Structure 1
Amino acid sequence: MSEILASLYPWTKSLHVLSVISWMAGLFYLPRLFVHHVEQAGRDSHIHETFSMMERKLFRLIMNPAMIATWVFGLMLVFTPGIVDWSLVWPWTKAAGVLAMTWFHHWLGYRRKELAAGTNTRSGRAFRMMNEVPTLLVIIIVFSVIVKF
């Protein structure tokens, strides 16, 4: 199995990067949709339904598959011989960042359901602030992998 993973390494790494890009795009965009949903939809049911549909499709059709693919290809990289040295700090900081990113993904999923149900209690400002979370996490992840401290 190790030999197969080693021979697939360039493909696995490429697919991992593509998956991460797709996942990050959704993680950056969905909170912005929430801001506009909260601030513009108000009592207009047509706008509310449009935002709910956009949020649902982004989450289910792009973000969920991208997150799953990121995890699958990432774990394939972890199990590829010679790629990860667990005696260093960087794999642990990257893992913590990825776990936090996954938590944030699910947090957004719960907020999406609240918005769709009309039970949201958060302001546009709160969603603007939460929109910075993936930026901070991706900084931790990228520096962990590139600098390998």
Structure 2
Amino acid sequence: MSHHPEVLWAQRSDKIYLTIALPDAKDVSVKSEPQGLFSFSGTGPQGKNFNLSLELYGAISPEGSKINVGLRNIFCSIQKEQKGWWRRLMKSDGKPAPYIKVDWNKWCDEDEEESLESHMLASDDDDDDALGNGEGDESSDDEGMLYLPDLKKASANFT
């Protein structure tokens, strides 16, 4: 008899993140097909077999997808074929199975992603300015070093 592992999911405009909670998983097999079929199988603690098949809401790009098998979870980053937001994880209408839950730690709404991207672009520009672009900058061996105050002088002010 096979069991279903707990699955947490989140999305971005270009990816779906699936976290399969299965500690000490062995014989892990993950397959994804362009039309949106995703399947997982593995052996959990005490030799229990776990299987999962999902028909995802949209088409995916298996070549751009990544799988990372950790000690407690299997992390799947699935590349969407077309950038955009899916209304739900699976193609079928109705409530998803009880073992499929939203991963609120990774969840991002459309407007949050846009503001996050613009913030990241702005911070990249700030980083370029802070690091200098090499024009007229005098470099020193101390670049990137953290400034630490002289503790003897600092402690003298407190006594």
Q: Which has the larger radius of gyration?
A: 2
| TM-score past 0.5 threshold | no
TM-score range, shorter chain: under 0.3
Normalised TM-score (structure 2): 0.24
Normalised TM-score (structure 1): 0.25
The structure in which a higher percent of residues are strand is: 2
The structure in which a higher percent of residues are helix is: 1
